Amino acid sequence: MTRRPLRVGIADLRRHPGTRRRFHETVTFSGIEISTASVPDDAPIEVDLELETLSNGLVAEGTLQVPWRGECRRCLQMVDGLSNVKVKEIFEPSPTEGETYPMSEDIVDLEPMVRDAVYLALPLAPLCSADCAGPAPESFPTGPERIEESEKAPDPRWAALSELHFEKSDDDE
């Protein structure tokens, strides 16, 4: 049987509502990515939570440390970062979709909550530094040549406008 580190036995907690227990685990996930950043496969994600039982549920509150990697949105260099995410979620036997997570009488699976929080921790527009100015123009010598405005051929659809001539009135001066 494969050990699932985010499945936590809570039978002892459920017997005494209001009881708290610290939970700390280092986990790894693979394939967590969005269009701009990803969690490197097998990168350690630190899960540090306090579990507190309610009369009909459980609250998981704490932090996650999520390592990520992505391209700087300005200079396109690879950037490594670490996001610290605060979480506070409710688990219930009959969860409300999109608001709470499911739990059973004696086990709570924290993995769906941790995965959701990890996805939300990834930056949408990574930066290598706050003052990154982007690539230097001289670093792209083979870029597209710029055509001067006077060298551009006029759009034939506007050719009739070139034949218009306006007289200056006394008001224009």
**pLDDT tens by residue, 94-105:** 999 989 999 998
Residue 146, in any domain of the structure: no
Residue 85, in any domain of the structure: yes
Total domain count for the chain?
Answer: 1
Residue 67 sits in which domain range?
7-121
Cβ contacts of residue 163 below 8 Å, gap of 6+?
none
How many Å apart are CA 121 and CA 112, to the nearest integer? 14
Residue 2, in any domain of the structure: no
Residue 129, in any domain of the structure: no
Residue 34, in any domain of the structure: yes
Residue 39, in any domain of the structure: yes
> In DSSP terms, which residues pair with 61 in a beta bridge?
50, 88
Cβ contacts of residue 134 below 8 Å, gap of 6+?
74, 75
Q: What is the pLDDT of residues 78-126, one digit of tens each?
A: 999 999 999 999 999 999 998 999 999 889 999 999 999 999 999 999 9
Residue 167, in any domain of the structure: no
